[in-house]
């Protein structure tokens, strides 16, 4: 997420140049206004009139610049006059109490200079505006024009200048695995085209800043030795409608010319927010840009050439659904905060170029930095190196690392670090509760994938399960198992700590949703085979509403009880799982089976 200014020219494109132009314009207008006001009040007097005014004691002071005289009257007025070359009236001025100042002739010029400079800048500002507006209309195809608004502002990297490859990305094994296909496709497009396979065109990298999304995208280009175009979503957006769209067009045209190639769009949410809530011009522009992006991505089908678009965001929830449709960004790769092992690997990668004292143990530092992003870890090494250099040390010591860590933690709010030890423990038990319930109901629950206490987005921890197959129908038992799994988090908290927290809110939302559809849509309750569509066209009485609520309540209560029972019976497993999770932060299904001595599920045996 680094942005560099490509041009230092005064006429830099984009928001900065625009702001400069606007400010300049306004300042000039104000200056001119003042000047007009000022000169408007000055009376021009003839020499005779001037003499009369003096002898009538009306003149307070004058400033003489050569033959030119600027003066003030006692009533507050101003005047201007020209006096003869050899005026003899100095004594007369004295007699009438006029205060005389004689100024250097150059003073007079300066006013003229100011006006000329102001006019010059106004001219430039006006010119700039016209150029911009014209470019916006043309879609900005205009060759080597320094005003090229509509040109894509992507940075282009040719393969020879890309040093990153998958080895530069430490940890992130899952993300790399998923991106390998893309590399293969870029390297051997023929292999796929031969059989008419439709390759993915868009990959969405989802994760918090600093966790290596940009790095991963560039590494894909490095692995595939193809050109890499990098741009940020916000770079597309300008005040002028049509500029963003033309930049998109230009970018894709360039990428196609260099196919196979990769386009990387950082912060895609800047353009990709869902449409339809437009107020005024700004979002009009954004919509046009988004539409152009969709058009370009669809165009790959016919346009030939293999261009892959990789986009990054930490807000996938706000993206327009149209972006996520098949053929567009239909692959989602999560780039999470690094877990313990990944943190150690990232530290190792960045410690290659520095001198560590032998007692520095990177594994230990990894343990002390939960919630640090890849960028934070790179930073900690750098800060430690700076510390050591300042003190003229030969090598970086443990103390340098401690200081660096403290500084970085002060500078930013790191989620797991702001969680106290107790809170982390609570999260570990909460997630273990979910997982254990899933494991104890093997016939009906989805197989577990992994559990983690590394925060992601707003969730403190996550328990992932993978649906076994696309299921079109679900049994009552499966739905009940889902409810119990949702309730397992809170149940574990209650059982172990005998206190409840707000952390289970979204679990309850999903549990209640499932229970309600069981009653209202699937006829899976004592209400019998009836459909009660809520808020829809199926009306029902207040009394029925009360019965529905009671049924939902009953299902949830029963599930909660059974969940608690299950955890009580398996308390030892719960403890083992939670303490191990606390230590390792992330556990995959295989590790969990081994840890708990449970037979692996069929679908995990080959993993
Ligand atoms: P994002 O695009 O997700 O905000 P970046 O790719 O810009 O993150 O990461 C910033 C820097 O942090 C990278 O240039 C790299 O030096 C470092 N970094 C992040 N993740 C990793 C990783 N998994 N391995 C090695 N370095 C990393
Ligand atoms: Zn939960």
DSSP code per residue over 227-293: -EEEEEGGGG--SSTTHHHHHHHHHHHHHHHT-SEEEEEESTHHHHB-SS---SHHHHHHHHHHHHH
Q: How many alpha carbons fall within 13 Å on the CB side of residue 436?
A: 33
Do residue 186 and residue 330 come from a single domain? yes
| Gap between the Cα atoms of 415 and 254, Å rounded | 41
| Gap between the Cα atoms of 54 and 33, Å rounded | 31
Q: Residue 601: is its pLDDT beyond 90?
A: no
pLDDT value at residue 478: 87
Residues near 424 by beta carbon (within 8 Å), at least 6 away in sequence: 370, 416, 453, 582
Do residue 475 and residue 562 come from a single domain? yes
- Ligand 1 binding pocket includes 433 (Cβ within 6 Å): no
- Ligand 1 binding pocket includes 346 (Cβ within 6 Å): yes
Which residue has the least CA distance to atom 11 on ligand 1?
A: 375
Taking the model in full, what pTM does it have? 0.57
How far apart are the CA of 406 and the centre of ligand 1, in A? 20
| Gap between the Cα atoms of 248 and 257, Å rounded | 14
pLDDT value at residue 280: 46
Q: What is the CATH number of the domain that holds 141?
A: 3.30.720.210
Give the pLDDT band (50/70/90) at residue 536: low
Do residue 127 and residue 275 come from a single domain? no
User: 121 in a domain, yes or no?
Assistant: yes
CA dihedral over 432, 437, 442, 447, signed as positive or negative: negative
User: Which one of 385, 410, 435 terminates a domain?
Assistant: 410
Rounded to an integer, what is the distance from CA 213 to the centroid of its chain?
A: 11
Do residue 236 and residue 288 come from a single domain? yes
Q: Are 566 and 521 in contact (CB under 8 A)?
A: no
Q: Is 86 left (phi over 0), alpha (psi -120 to 50) or beta?
A: beta
Q: Are 256 and 224 in contact (CB under 8 A)?
A: no
Do residue 317 and residue 459 come from a single domain? no
Query: Stretch 182-209: mean pLDDT, rounded?
Result: 83
Ligand 1 pocket mutation pick from 211, 362, 377, 412 by most atoms within 8 angstroms of CB: 211
Give the pLDDT band (50/70/90) at residue 219: very high
477 is catalytic: no
- In whole angstroms, how far apart are CA 137 and each of 129, 235, 491? 12, 18, 62
Do residue 529 and residue 567 come from a single domain? yes
User: 416 in a domain, yes or no?
Assistant: no
User: Which one of 315, 334, 353 terminates a domain?
Assistant: 334
Do residue 110 and residue 128 come from a single domain? yes
The secondary element (H helix, E strand) that includes residue 90 is helix 90-95
* Between 153 and 374, the higher pLDDT residue: 374
- Phi, psi for 68 (deg, rounded to 5): -90, 135
Do residue 9 and residue 110 come from a single domain? yes
Q: Which of 206, 217, 204, 201 is nearest to 326 (CA)?
A: 201
User: pLDDT of 154-173, one tens digit each?
Assistant: 788 998 899 999 999 998 88
| Gap between the Cα atoms of 128 and 147, Å rounded | 8
User: 607 in a domain, yes or no?
Assistant: no
Which residue has the least CA distance to atom 15 on ligand 1?
A: 375
Find the range with the poorest average confidence among 82-96, 206-220, 515-529.
82-96
Residues near 228 by beta carbon (within 8 Å), at least 6 away in sequence: 156, 157, 162, 217, 218, 221, 261, 262, 264
Domain count for the chain, please give it: 4
User: pLDDT of 449-470, one tens digit each?
Assistant: 778 887 654 455 666 665 544 4
* Between 238 and 337, the higher pLDDT residue: 337
User: 188 in a domain, yes or no?
Assistant: yes
- Ligand 1 binding pocket includes 171 (Cβ within 6 Å): yes
- Ligand 1 binding pocket includes 374 (Cβ within 6 Å): yes
- Ligand 1 binding pocket includes 169 (Cβ within 6 Å): yes
User: 605 in a domain, yes or no?
Assistant: no
Do residue 63 and residue 174 come from a single domain? no
User: pLDDT of 283-293, one tens digit each?
Assistant: 677 888 888 88
Q: Are 94 and 1 in contact (CB under 8 A)?
A: no
Q: Are 489 and 434 in contact (CB under 8 A)?
A: yes
| Gap between the Cα atoms of 550 and 173, Å rounded | 47
pLDDT value at residue 462: 67
Q: Are 244 and 236 in contact (CB under 8 A)?
A: yes
How far apart are the CA of 99 and the centre of ligand 1, in A? 73
Do residue 316 and residue 170 come from a single domain? yes
Rounded to an integer, what is the distance from CA 74 to the centroid of its chain?
A: 65
User: 603 in a domain, yes or no?
Assistant: no
User: Which one of 334, 369, 402 terminates a domain?
Assistant: 334
How far apart are the CA of 191 and the centre of ligand 1, in A? 32
Do residue 67 and residue 6 come from a single domain? yes
- Select which of 345, 431, 493, 551 is catalytic: 431
Q: Residue 346: is its pLDDT beyond 80?
A: yes
Residues near 272 by beta carbon (within 8 Å), at least 6 away in sequence: 233, 290, 293, 311, 313, 318, 319, 320, 323
Q: What is the CATH number of the domain that holds 453?
A: 1.20.58.760
Ligand 1 pocket mutation pick from 170, 341, 372, 378 by most atoms within 8 angstroms of CB: 378
Q: What is the CATH number of the domain that holds 401?
A: 1.10.8.60
* Between 559 and 600, the higher pLDDT residue: 559
Do residue 101 and residue 173 come from a single domain? no
pLDDT value at residue 389: 92
Q: What is the CA angle 341-346-350, rounded to 5?
A: 150
User: 462 in a domain, yes or no?
Assistant: yes
Can you read off the two tokens belonging to residue 183?
């590399």
Sheet of 462-465: strands edge to edge?
A: 462-465, 448-452, 586-588
Q: Are 262 and 226 in contact (CB under 8 A)?
A: yes
Q: Residue 574: is its pLDDT beyond 90?
A: yes
Range of the domain at 134: 1-148
| Gap between the Cα atoms of 77 and 61, Å rounded | 11
Ligand 1 pocket mutation pick from 165, 215, 337 by most atoms within 8 angstroms of CB: 215
């Amino acid at each position: 997420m680094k942005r560099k200014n490509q041009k230092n020219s005064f006429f830099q494109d984009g928001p900065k140049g625009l702001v400069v132009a606007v400010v300049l314009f306004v300042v000039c207008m104000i200056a001119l206004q003042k000047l007009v006001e000022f000169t408007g009040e000055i009376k021009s007097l003839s020499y005779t009139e001037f003499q009369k005014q003096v002898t009538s004691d009306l003149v307070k002071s004058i400033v003489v610049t050569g033959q030119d005289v600027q003066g003030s009257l006692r009533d507050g007025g101003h005047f201007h006059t020209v006096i003869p070359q050899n005026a003899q009236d100095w004594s007369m001025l004295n007699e009438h109490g006029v205060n005389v100042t004689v100024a250097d002739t150059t003073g007079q010029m300066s006013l003229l200079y100011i006006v000329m400079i102001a006019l010059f800048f106004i001219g430039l500002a006006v010119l700039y505006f016209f150029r911009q507006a014209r470019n916006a209309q043309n879609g900005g195809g205009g060759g080597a024009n320094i005003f090229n608004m509509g040109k894509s502002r992507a940075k282009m990297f040719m393969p020879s200048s890309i040093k990153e490859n998958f080895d530069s990305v430490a940890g992130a094994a899952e993300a790399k695995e998923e991106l390998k296909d893309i590399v293969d496709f870029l390297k051997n497009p023929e292999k796929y085209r031969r059989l008419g396979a439709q390759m993915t065109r868009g990959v969405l990298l989802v994760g918090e800043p600093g966790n290596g999304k940009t790095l991963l995208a560039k590494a894909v280009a490095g692995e595939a030795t193809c050109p890499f175009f990098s741009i940020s979503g916000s770079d597309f957006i300008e005040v002028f409608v049509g500029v963003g769209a033309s930049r998109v067009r230009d970018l894709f045209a360039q990428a196609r010319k260099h196919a196979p190639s990769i386009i990387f769009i950082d912060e895609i949410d800047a353009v990709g927010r869902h449409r339809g809530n437009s107020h005024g011009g700004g979002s009009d522009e954004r919509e046009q840009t988004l539409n152009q992006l969709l058009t370009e991505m669809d165009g790959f089908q016919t346009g030939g050439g293999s261009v892959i678009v990789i986009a990054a965001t930490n807000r996938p929830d706000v993206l327009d659904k149209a972006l996520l449709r098949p053929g567009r960004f239909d692959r989602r790769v999560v780039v999470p905060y690094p877990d313990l092992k990944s943190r150690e690997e990232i530290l190792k990668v960045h410690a290659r170029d520095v001198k560590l004292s032998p007692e520095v143990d990177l594994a230990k530092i990894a343990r002390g930095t939960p919630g640090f992003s890849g960028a934070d870890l790179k930073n900690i090494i750098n800060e430690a190196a700076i510390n050591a250099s300042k003190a003229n040390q030969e090598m970086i010591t443990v103390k340098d690392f401690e200081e660096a860590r403290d500084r970085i933690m002060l500078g930013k709010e790191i989620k797991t670090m702001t969680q106290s030890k107790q809170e982390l423990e609570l999260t570990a038990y909460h997630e273990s509760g979910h997982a254990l319930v899933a494991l104890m109901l093997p016939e009906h629950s989805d197989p577990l994938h992994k559990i983690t206490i590394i925060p992601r987005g707003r969730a403190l921890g996550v328990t992932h399960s993978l649906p076994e197959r696309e299921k079109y129908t679900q049994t009552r038992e499966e739905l009940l198992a889902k409810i119990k799994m949702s309730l397992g988090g809170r149940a574990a908290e209650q059982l172990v700590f005998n206190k409840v927290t707000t952390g289970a809110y979204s679990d309850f939302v999903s549990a209640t949703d499932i229970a309600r559809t069981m009653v209202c849509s699937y006829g899976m309750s004592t209400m019998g085979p009836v459909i009660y569509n809520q808020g829809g066209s199926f009306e029902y009485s207040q009394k029925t509403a009360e019965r529905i609520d009671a049924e939902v309540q009953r299902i949830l209560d029963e599930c909660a009880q059974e969940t608690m029972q299950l955890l009580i019976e398996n308390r030892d497993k719960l403890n083992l799982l939670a303490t191990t999770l606390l230590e390792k932060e992330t556990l995959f299904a295989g590790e969990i089976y081994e840890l708990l001595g449970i037979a692996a599920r069929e679908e995990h045996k080959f993993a």
